[in-house]
Chain A
Amino acid sequence: MNKKIDFREVLQRSLVPIMFIVICAIGIPLSGLSVGYLANEIMTRMGRNIFLILSLLIPIMAGMGLNFGMTLGAMAGEIALILVCDWQIVGIPAMVLAAIISVPISIALGVFCGSILNQAKGREMITSYIMSFFINGIYQLVVLYMMGSIIPIRHGSIKLPRGYGIRNTVSLLSMRQKLDNLIPLTVGGVKIPVATFLVILVMCLFIVWFRRTKLGQDMRAVGQDMGVARDAGINVERTRIISIVISTVLAGFGMIIYLQNMGNIATYSSHSQIGMFCIAALLVGGASVDKASIGNVFLGVILFHTMFIVAPKAGATITGDSMIGEYFRVFVSYAVITIALVMYETSKRRKKKAAGRELQDLQGHGGDDLRTADLGTL
């Protein structure tokens, strides 16, 4: 019986990636895009997004699900970049400085978010999701009203003409793709952002190393069973907060890498959808709410962004309307997350039921109560 469940799980896990491979296989020829163009685009997007997505791994390890609150880190990164931009620091030093400045902001937001999530155990995802909206309100308050009036902003190219608040777009021309082009390399017409990939590599090594540390082991224990972890003497609350803090800080760094590639900040919207797209990409790579690996991140970015690039063109070829493709890719992003969430919840229920049955077999009776008990964990 165990084997059967395993087979089912493997199939479930690879369902979404297979679906995406099919979508891409159909979409690429329809879009009429050249392989060279596609390869270039995907390479750029890999450099741009992977770091951000890596930031999601640690909360998953700690059993806190998909951290929709990564948006908080993205906002911290944006605030740091705006400040650095106003101080007229340029190039790689600007990115380093922005990263340093983003850390205290990210930590503060992460601690706040983590302690709220500790009060909402069992519904971390919806809470972190609402949290991203809430902090977005605070972010707007800071950027639109406090910057320029309380926080000094000197340059008119950043500030709104009314004297306070930041413009809709802040140009990052002075650090645009500075990291990507630090070590130039072109292979077969495909530009490879070597330095960005080196940073990503360091990050991957960090995650691999982190999993083996005491703290990493604690996190996994907390992720598996909070009660058991607590009995083992682990400070569950603290461990969970730390996992969110790390995620937020990394998301801040990721956002800085992301924006240096884009070359400008859309002050009021750059961060708003970033969480959704990163989570969708991670899930496309075969991750689930309670299990994700670095491999999932890479596969996910490639598949998701291939779909993202080809969908509008393919949609235009099929229906004659490019908007269809645009809506299609938004739909697919949401649908993937929905499917992944449903699969997670159903398998969780199945496991619980199985555990209940085992207990019932052991005790001979009383399993019924256990089976009904899982109804109420809203």
Chain B
Amino acid sequence: MKEKLQAFFKSFGLPRLIIAGFLLLLLILAPFVGADLPTQISNIINRFSWNGILVLAMVPMVHSGCGLNFGLPLGIISGLLGATLSIELGFTGRLSFFAAILIATPFALILGAGYGFLLNKIKGGEMMIATYVGFSSVSFMCMMWLLLPYHSPNMVWGYAGKGLRTTISLEGYYNQALAGILPIKIGNILIPTGTLLFFALLAFGIWAFLHTKTGTAMTAVGSNPAFARAAGINVDGIRLLSVVMSTWLAAVGILVYEQGFGFIQLYMAPFYMALPAVSAILIGGASVNKASIVNVIVGTILFQGIVTMTPTVMNNAIHMDMSEIIRIIASMGMILFALTRKTEATR
């Protein structure tokens, strides 16, 4: 038992332990410095519901050995295309949310397939290239948001009549489309049941998929490609599938994020969105080639916990808002740590 515990701590890793300890400290401190704990918890649950699927989008690619999906912005772009087109085509209310998912899907499939094809060409250098594919696509879309012929008056700049705004309000569209379903209110804590259920649905879907024949093949490709090939698995095909899945999840993830946040953010906004998601899943216990649904849930809660708790607690305790810096150091430190670990198995 003791050995097991030791092994657990070892596999858990020091940075993760520090971050979890830090969050625990914040939670303990919160009532003493006058921060309202229920509100904080409510915030964490809320932000978890916004970000969960974006973090979930890491899982398929990690499983197939494509590494951490630094190319998340590509999927986010598909989601944004779905969102803006859904509004442009005149969908309103909750319907616009599902329309957005539907419209985003073909984009995600096509972009994801192209992205996956590219990643198959450059096995070994996935993460760096993924990062730059994300950056290139975001800056390319910056031009497109200005040039594409959008006309909906709620989205384009008022004076020019063309070019999308940097932030678009979702009031009247799919603001709180999921969170508004069966919300539960306990005292100060508001639980967005709909969003959580939607996350649970997708997470269960991924979990179930990973236990199908294709899913186990994906894990095999990730942990030992040579063996997988010998077993007659189409390695490239499986990798392509995982990239497409990740891209699609990112597209859905950003739509879920927007329905909670209430705004669509365009232009440079998706630029660094991959980094919080990457660090979240790593904080949750994933490594460069291993990730589970549990990692996603734990990681998102820990990461969002720190993001929401530090400003309030720090501000109240020492009148210094160091949250931004703590967030950067913690999340980047976590990614660094994961990158320096020798990956298990002969890869």
Q: Please report A residues at the B interface, Cβ cutoff 8 Å.
A: 116, 119-120, 122-123, 125-127, 129-131, 133-134, 136-138, 140-141, 144-145, 319, 321, 323-324, 327-328, 330-331, 334-335, 337-338, 341-342, 344-346, 348-349, 369, 372-378
Contact = CB atoms under 8 A, between A and B. Distances in A.
Interface of B: 65, 67, 70, 118, 121-129, 131-133, 135-136, 139-140, 142-143, 146-147, 163, 224-226, 229, 235, 275, 288-289, 320, 322, 324-325, 328-329, 332-333, 335-336, 339-340, 343, 346-347
A127 B124 contact: no
A125 B135 CA distance: 15
Q: For the complex, would chain B's binding face be called helix, strand, loop or mixed by DSSP majority?
A: helix
A134 B123 CA distance: 26
B187 to A, nearest CB: 36
Nearest to B163: A321
Given A126-B339, A376-B225, A341 B125 contact: yes
A137 B343 CA distance: 26
B147 A138 contact: no
A127 B118 CA distance: 21
A334 B65 contact: no
Contact of A345 (B124, B131, B328): B124
Given A125-B128, A338-B136, A376-B347, 6 more contacts: A131-B336, A136-B328, A327-B142, A334-B139, A338-B135, A372-B226
A372 B128 contact: no
Nearest to B235: A375
A27 to B, nearest CB: 15
Given A327-B146, A341-B125, A342-B118, A116 B328 contact: no
Nearest to B328: A137
A372 B229 contact: yes
Which of B140, B275, B328, B339 has the most CB atoms of chain A within a 10 A radius of its CB? B339
Contacts of B333: 134
Nearest to B160: A321
Contacts of B147: 319, 324
B171 to A, nearest CB: 26
A345 B163 CA distance: 37
A209 B132 CA distance: 34
Given A129-B128, A141-B322, A141-B329, A375 B133 contact: no
Given A145-B322, A345-B121, A338 B143 contact: no
Contacts of A342: 118, 121-122, 129
Given A328-B143, A341-B128, A376 B346 contact: yes
A372 B224 CA distance: 10
Contacts of A323: 146
A321 B333 CA distance: 40
